Amino acid sequence: MSYTKPENWSPGEEITLEPAAELAVKSELNNLILAGPGAGKTELLAQRACFLLQTNLCPYPQKILAISFKKDAAENLKNRVELRSGKELAARFESRTFDSFSKQLLDRFRLGLPDAYRPAKHYNILTSNREIREIVTGYIIERHPNQPNWMHEINFNVLFRRLSDDELPIFEDGEDIYTWVLTRLWNVMIQGGNGLPSSLTFPMISKLADYLLKQNPLIKKALQVTYSHVFLDEFQDTTHLQYELVKTIFLESSVILTSVGDDKQRIMGWAGALSDSFEQFKHDFNASQIELTHNHRSAPRLIEIQNVMAKIINENATYATVSRQHSDLEGVCEVWNFQTHLDEAVFVASSIAKRIQQENVTPRDICILVKQYEHIYARNVIEELGKQGVQARIEKEYQDLLAEECTQLIIDFFKLATIERTHDSWVRVSEVLSFVQGFDPDHDHLEILKMESELNEHIIQIRSKLDRVVNDEDRCKQEIENIIKGIYSFIGVEKFFRLYPKYARGTFFNQLIDDSVEKLTTAYMKYLNWSDAISDFIGLFSIPIMTIHKSKGLEYDTVIFLGLEDDAFWSFQTQRAADMCAFFVALSRAKKQCFFTFSASREILRFGDVQVRPQFNQNLSSLYQILQDANVTVRHISEVNL
């Protein structure tokens, strides 16, 4: 492998970095990079990885570790580094989510934990407080000597918080009922018993990984030697547990850290995100601050409004500058006022249909956002779009599923069996097969040729089976299930699990397969055509509908936010800063157009029931004033307009 001298390295002919970005890419110091919407932070991290790998400043065989919050963000960054630097160098770039990283540590070094905190090799992962509550009420049957009715006296929300927050090991405090419960809860969840398998939450996994490293400094040292550089993406969303793990491993080491974030997009406070993560990082790691100012995403008019919002959120915010790709007059932002949510649905659906039919815009170029309860706020819009021949779907049912490697592999096999010109799918499937078989691409040429011949035969078999699928939902579902089982039998399930250990535990893998079968069946029964069914499954035919939180990191030509109303932002008076950041995130997803709707009456969820209620914007008056100050047009849309 020949390397480039650092002074001769450049990002490539098609990419130009602003001066601050180039400084960040080439820096050999700990840095906090402030990157607003559209600043190109993913590209910046990809270019930094390429610089370090191509110049050997990340010296072989050391690696770069990149930690993101979302699976798709981690995968996107990984793919971009591979595209820019090639497979050989990208093999030393490890892109993970925080949950994946901490779980990998626990799974690899589990035996380094004391018996009391060592989970079983195959533990279950719990994702809801309801499951924890059921364990507390069903498995902790001991009576407290002073508080025999403790189960009816404790605040379960406090218990859930302390399960994540309290340092390990936990010792009973005779004065505190919660430590008494927690010692028993940790024990029953770690050890299992009486039909309960060893079970953990992701915060518990992070805490156990941190405790493990504090108990075993040699493992910590090994990690410091493994990684020369660490990237921390979306750093404004970092929780206390995640940051503690980063500090435990990398503080006072020679590893160079680069964190990237935007305090104007700090919307995960409800999930435990630190309120001062930037300040802590700069202090703890003696980090310099670099600020990117270009916005490559949004049109000038939208950037102008974003700049007004940014100054309200943070008076020290730097004004974003416009990319050269836009003309000065580009960009539309409006508020649409309606009398009823039914009027809103008709107008929004008609506007979307007109854009798709007349302006060569695809459904995936448009996104509908809501603050909460997508199935309620967007229900009538979905119905009206259907009448106009336009599909829309609630994206959370698909986002996580489509980000999984096992689902992507299914899609690739189905594409190869049904769609022409699927070179990328062939490459991905061949690579997985080579990895699981342990082939060396540079030496095992005959073995790889034989493997690819067998792959081609298997794809022909799949094509034959897909061609025989009939117009019967139950038989279709069974056939798809058999084909997918055949795919993983062909690959070798155990070998695949060794490549992706996360699928080997619990029911996670089987649940993903079941979800894929269900959704592929629905898509095929809709079109009776495999090419369209696959495109529908991956979302090419549908307008995505999601909450603001799910839209983080995404971008669209047009964004329509439904319900800029007090009931949607019910906590605005008590958490104004977080809701302003949420509004900023919604606004900044748009490239060219952004519309906010208000309806004087709307279906909302109230006391567990869906009711039509009058809506107001009194609590949001300061937000409306900001839009007015930014000269955002307010349109009152009457029945005549409809």
pLDDT tens-digit map of 62-106: 999 999 988 888 988 998 999 899 889 999 999 999 999 999 999
* Contact residues for 64 (Cβ-Cβ < 8 A; gap 6+): 49, 52, 53, 58, 92, 93, 94, 227, 228, 229, 230, 231
Helices and strands: H and E segment counts in the chain: 28, 19
624 CB-side CA count, 13 A = 17
Which amino acid appears at position 416 of this protein? L
Provide the pLDDT for residue 93: 97
Provide the pLDDT for residue 304: 93
Q: Is 523 annotated as a binding residue?
A: no
Q: Are 550 and 67 in contact, with CB atoms under 8 Å apart? A: no
**pLDDT beyond 90 at 317:** no
The string of pLDDT tens digits covering residues 182-199 is 999 999 999 998 889 999
**pLDDT beyond 80 at 327:** no
Write out the two tokens for 347. 């107008």
State the average pLDDT over residues 516-531.
94
Write out the two tokens for 481. 């299930």
The string of pLDDT tens digits covering residues 99-141 is 999 999 999 999 999 999 999 988 888 888 999 999 999 999 8
Given pLDDT bands bounded at 50, 70 and 90, which one contains residue 259?
A: very high
Whether 6-103+214-292 shares its CATH topology with 300-391+545-636 is answered yes
The CA distance from 355 to 332, in Å, is 14
Q: Is 36 annotated as a binding residue?
A: yes
Q: What angle do helix axes 508-527 and 405-418 make, rounded to 10 degrees?
A: 30
**pLDDT beyond 60 at 640:** no
Best-predicted range by mean pLDDT (150-154, 277-281, 358-362, 423-427): 277-281
Question: Going by DSSP bridges, is the β-strand pair 366-370/391-394 parallel, antiparallel, or unpaired?
Answer: unpaired
Q: Is 37 annotated as a binding residue?
A: yes
CATH topology for 300-391+545-636 is Rossmann fold (3.40.50)
What are the domain boundaries of the chain?
Answer: 6-103+214-292, 124-197, 300-391+545-636, 399-538
The CA distance from 409 to 455, in Å, is 13
Write out the two tokens for 620. 């949001």
Q: Is 42 annotated as a binding residue?
A: yes
CATH topology for 6-103+214-292 is Rossmann fold (3.40.50)
The string of pLDDT tens digits covering residues 543-578 is 999 999 999 889 999 999 999 999 999 989 888 999
Q: Which of 80, 92, 99 is nearest to 3 (CA)?
A: 92
Length reported for the chain: 642
State the average pLDDT over residues 9-18.
82
CB-based burial label for 153 (10 Å; 0-12, 13-18, 19+): exposed
Write out the two tokens for 46. 């990809």
Given pLDDT bands bounded at 50, 70 and 90, which one contains residue 444?
A: confident
Q: Which of 320, 262, 310 is nearest to 580 (CA)?
A: 310
Q: Is 40 annotated as a binding residue?
A: yes
**pLDDT beyond 70 at 641:** no
* Contact residues for 41 (Cβ-Cβ < 8 A; gap 6+): 33, 35, 233, 260, 292
The CA distance from 602 to 611, in Å, is 8
